[in-house]
Structure 1
Amino acid sequence: MSRCDHCGSHVSERFARVFADGKGRLGACPSCAANAGIAEVARDRTRTETH
């Protein structure tokens, strides 16, 4: 089962396929980000971690 790399919460495989970045990392999930902004939060967190 997949986990959010930010908070460690379990997410479905389907969720991981949709929201993971190109390296398979999940920067946000419904447990740690507002549902409407998961993609944006994940993108912003990924940028912050890589710089």
Structure 2
Amino acid sequence: MPTCNHCNAHVSDQFARVFANEFGEILACPNCSANAGIAEVAQQRAREVSNAG
């Protein structure tokens, strides 16, 4: 079952197909970000991770 990499909340397979990045990571979900901004939050978190490493 897919989970959010940020908060470990369960997400549906359909949610994962839509919002996972190219590596299958889900960086934001309705549990840890506003529904309207999930894609934007995911992109921001991905940038933060890539800049940190």
TM-score normalized by the length of structure 1: 0.96
**What pairs up with 1:1-51 in 2 under 5 angstroms?**
1-51=1-51
Aligned-pair Cα RMSD in Å: 0.5
Return 5+ residue gaps in structure 1 as ranges: none
The structure where strand makes up a greater share of residues is 1
Q: CA deviation at 1:50?
A: 1.2
The structure whose Rg is larger is: 2
Identical counterparts, % of pairs: 57
- 4+ long deviations beyond 6 Å: none
Aligned pair count reads 51
TM-score normalized by the length of structure 2: 0.93
Return 5+ residue gaps in structure 2 as ranges: none
